[in-house]
Amino acid sequence: MTTPKTDGPTVSPLAPASFPELPKIDGVRFAAGAVGIKKANRVDVMLAEIAPGSSIAGVFTRSATRSAAVLDCQAKLAGLSGDEGFAIVPPEAGFAIVVNSGNANTFTGKRGVTDVDLIAAAAASALDLPASHVFTSSTGVIGEPLPATKITDALPKIAASLDASATEPAARAIMTTDTFPKGAVTTLDLDGTPVTIMGFAKGSGMIAPDMATMLGYIFTDAAIAPAALQAMLSACNVQSFNAVTVDSDTSTSDTVLMAATGLAGNAPLTAPHEGFQAALLTVMQDLAHQIVRDGEGATKFVEVRVSGADSDEDATRVARSIANSPLVKTAIAGEDPNWGRIVMAVGKSGAKADRDLLTIRFGDILVAENGWVAESYTEDAGAAYMKQQELLVDVDLGVGDGAATVWTCDLTHGYIQINADYRS
């Protein structure tokens, strides 16, 4: 049994040792400000300014009740590109991203739409951009009107403090119930030109609409055509932000935006580039894993690896079924090597499976095969393994070549405490 986490700013036991040094990205400047959206003196607005000539791309929640800001981002990307999902950039104007925490501006009717427009207009005015080049996100409680004028009034002053090195304040400004800021960076050589990929994210319930919601912002100085940027962002998203789950709930606000300024001077990538995409994936997986590590009440970081499925889709179905099962997650919280619950989760997933072909491992420990517990398995070995903080649940379905990996955390008293008490 885990010890319930106390309320307040206790940092997750799974947090990285420290926030990484996030380097400057040529063509991107950040600022943060405290405008008092929910609490006085809490830094709650992040502004990013992105140089003219940049490419921008985005991926968003598929929720049918998505927020006004998400709908606005999607419309603007579609408008810029003449299509949905990526932007053909008019070279004369840069871009801005404005994010507030403390209020999600979701399910706020027509007023919510107006508030998005007000914020975009204020940022456009402060930075001399068209409003159609300003992307906004809001995260926090839902159903309450956003005090937009607090943001619009403060934007000129926040804009005046834009600074390429203000990456950590920017990462902190978007936090809600997060117990630590989440950043990641990598560099690579792009045909002779060194380029940097840097990003930060927030999220603590995956994905709790009124306190967490997943947001991510990624920047690179590489030159990448918009369609190629969108293609790589979408591809990496499948194996990063879309491959983590804390509680199976889907936010109304999930947004990942990525900008490529091109100021590194490489020959522009006009199609997905294997090396760049691999580097981008490490940054996005790093951020996604940090979200799981900050999962509400989490005390264990769990990788669920499924192979031998009829298809990759089936493998994903099984991995999610295991990772979202309350019974599996509570067993892990209790450090109980309860592999029977894994069998149950495979069975209920809807994927093609055969009880007698299933192989289950905890890390390197063979637990079950041929429709029964493995002869070599001992409950003591399983129990000792479960005491670790980082766990691997490995399932081979034995029916094909499909594979998928999903990351999750355990389900503890801490989750109940955070979510049964929030807002009351």
- Binding residues for its own copies restricted to 299-328, rule: CB under 8 A: 324-327
Q: Is-contact 256 241, C-beta < 8 A?
A: yes
**Rounded to 5 degrees, what are φ and ψ at 45?**
-130, 135
Which run of H or of E encompasses 48?
strand 45-50
* Residue 63 touching its own copies (CB under 8 A): yes
Sole binder of its own copies in the list 117, 310, 312, 336 (CB under 8 A): 336
- Please identify, among the stretches 91-99, 101-109, 117-125, 162-170, the one whose residues bind its own copies according to the rule CB under 8 A: 101-109
- Torsional sign, CA 416, 419, 420, 421: positive
Q: Which is nearer to its own copies, 67 or 266 (CB)?
A: 67
Q: Is-contact 12 179, C-beta < 8 A?
A: yes
* Residue 24 touching its own copies (CB under 8 A): no
Q: Which is nearer to its own copies, 313 or 354 (CB)?
A: 354
Closest approach, Cβ 39 to its own copies, in A, equals 19
- Please identify, among the stretches 59-67, 81-89, 236-244, 268-276, the one whose residues bind its own copies according to the rule CB under 8 A: 59-67
- In Å, what is the CA distance from 325 to each residue of 36, 302, 307, 348? 38, 13, 19, 10
Q: Would you give the DSSP letter of residue 357?
A: G
Alpha helices in 239-335 (DSSP H): 274-293, 312-324, 326-333
Closest approach, Cβ 240 to its own copies, in A, equals 19
* Residue 79 touching its own copies (CB under 8 A): no
- Binding residues for its own copies restricted to 200-259, rule: CB under 8 A: 205, 208-210, 247-252
DSSP string, 97-142: EEEEEEE---S-HHHHHHHHHHHHHHHHHHHT--GGGEEEEEEEES
Closest approach, Cβ 134 to its own copies, in A, equals 23
Catalytic pick among 2, 213, 316, 408 = 213
- Binding residues for its own copies restricted to 156-185, rule: CB under 8 A: none
Closest approach, Cβ 424 to its own copies, in A, equals 5
Q: Is-contact 251 63, C-beta < 8 A?
A: yes
* Residue 294 touching its own copies (CB under 8 A): no
Q: Which two tokens stand for residue 289?
A: 């894993």
Closest approach, Cβ 215 to its own copies, in A, equals 16
> Is 136 an active-site residue?
no
160 vs 286: CA distance, rounded Å: 32
* Residue 346 touching its own copies (CB under 8 A): yes
* Residue 417 touching its own copies (CB under 8 A): yes
HEC per residue, 142-184: CCCCCCHHHHHHHHHHHHHCCECCCHHHHHHHCCCCCCCCEEE
Closest approach, Cβ 333 to its own copies, in A, equals 5
- Binding residues for its own copies restricted to 103-122, rule: CB under 8 A: 106-111
Residue at 213: amino acid letter: T
Q: Which is nearer to its own copies, 65 or 165 (CB)?
A: 65
Give catalytic residue positions: 213
